[in-house]
A and B are shown apart, each in its own frame.
Chain A
Amino acid sequence: MAEKKKKFEQGAVVTEPGSSRKCKTGDWRTFRPVIDQGKCIKCYQCWQVCPDAAIRVDEKTGVVSIDYDYCKGCLICVKQCPVKAIAKEVENK
């Protein structure tokens, strides 16, 4: 029943940055937002409102995509999109 003490950093300090990347929250989704690239006007409002910074914008092309590893399916982007280019679909689990 004895446990190694080594792996517990003093004060529970997380000593390396970016560890939240390891916590992939994509499997929280019940619904999945899907972008219709034909309709997208690249206004980036979805990028602005996404609470999880899970909307990616390609630096060269400006094309918007969703990082499903982190998107929790809150669908704020669906609501925000002024041209209804983002659809809500049932997540297939």
Chain B
Amino acid sequence: MKKVIEASDAVAEAVKLCRVEVCPMYPITPSTHIPERISEFVANGEMNAQIIDVESEHSAASAFIGVVASGSRAFTATSSQGLALMYEILPIISGMRLPGVMAVANRALSAPINIWNDHSDAVSARDQGWIQLYAESSQESLDSIIQGYKISENKNVFMPLMVCFDGFSLTHVFEPVDIPEQKKVDSFLPKFKPLHWLDVKKPMSFGPIGFPDSFMHFKRQQQEAMENSINVIKKANSAFKKSFGRSYGSGLLDLYRMQDAEYAVVAMGTACGTARVAIDVLRKKGKKVGLARVRSLRPFPEKELQSAIKGIRAVAVIDRHISLGQEGPLFTDVRNAIYCNDIPINSYIAGLGGRDITVKHFEKVFTDLEKGKQKGEWLF
């Protein structure tokens, strides 16, 4: 059923459709509407789930461990400082190989205090063993939650997954969203089958110490799981298309007008929607420009990006976060990936703390590339 709703509503609908069993949540702007909507579903009897009112995001993430360890499907949502407070638990969830999905409504990290969108919260948590998908639209936010459980709960993966979608620029935007039928979701996403789970009839220990002789082995398993997830994400994306008629590029990388492009922009999230408009405008003027939208930051689609960039004259990367003292982390990843392509690549920092990213910004970036400008800048 198609309806005009917020991305927050869309995410909540997806959580309901995925038959999530337990949601430990601690609301924080701009993710607040998600727990609100899920609470309504549960209160109205539309969703058979347990909501745990926790006292902090740290507790929400901790409860997430308990839920998945006991063999149930878990969901939580947060933003910004909320995700930062979960930070201690993030690598524990992934290290214990507990699958599940968290929605991150991307918001800047303070200080100065700022409630608006950028990617600093999720991107700075990219190394903690969570698969990270960045959505561009409300529809993709919903679809990514459903795909997310499918990917995360795959036996070759068993890693937790974040669906990152832009705070305010999506969470509070109403637009048409196709809400899939429950039947279809049920056949796409079977019941969660944990490898191990806590059961009084069959006692087990979760979360023991890993001494130096074993720790690295466990980490290598996690890295292998992440590598495995590349194909699993692709398969989930194409299976999703078969069931629901929608897909997002390859699942990891989404290309727009790249086939004959000479200049390309690489970005994530809602800025890509605006980039598409800018590209259409420039194409009408005869400029051969395109977009490579990174949907999966972790795992990073290195090989795919290499082939997407083949034949391109110059690339610009738009980061909505900066690794202070270095550069935009997406830029670092993209430069690493296309190192062998040996083409100019510029780094642009934009859209921090809710600063608007506009069509004009993209026009400027493409002009820079065309003129052979060798250095990016901060886009105000």
> Interface of A with B (CB < 8 Å)?
1-3, 11-12
Contacts and interface: CB of A to CB of B under 8 A. Distances in A.
B379 A1 contact: yes
B291 to A, nearest CB: 20
B200 interface: no
Contacts of B361: 1
Interface in B350-380: 361, 364, 377, 379-380
A2 B380 contact: yes
Interface of B: 111-112, 361, 364, 377, 379-380
A12 B364 contact: no
A43 to B, nearest CB: 38
A2 B380 CA distance: 6
Interface SS, B side: loop
B112 A1 contact: no
Contacts of A12: 111-112
B364 A1 contact: yes
A12 B364 CA distance: 29
A17 to B, nearest CB: 19
Nearest to A2: B380
B111 A1 contact: no
A12 B114 CA distance: 12
Contacts of A1: 361, 364, 379-380
A12 B379 CA distance: 20
B108 to A, nearest CB: 13
Nearest to B111: A12
A49 to B, nearest CB: 28
A1 B357 CA distance: 12
Contacts of B111: 11-12
A11 B111 CA distance: 8
Q: Which of A1, A3, A11, A12 has the most CB of B within 10 A?
A: A1
Given A1-B364, A2-B377, A12-B111, 7 more contacts: A1-B361, A1-B379, A1-B380, A2-B380, A3-B380, A11-B111, A12-B112
A2 to B, nearest CB: 7
A3 B355 CA distance: 13
Contacts of B377: 2
Contacts of B364: 1
A46 B361 CA distance: 52
10 contacts: A1-B361, A1-B364, A1-B379, A1-B380, A2-B377, A2-B380, A3-B380, A11-B111, A12-B111, A12-B112
A5 to B, nearest CB: 10
A12 B113 CA distance: 10
Nearest to B380: A3
A1 B364 CA distance: 10
Nearest to A8: B112
A1 B367 CA distance: 14
A3 B111 CA distance: 20
A12 B380 CA distance: 18
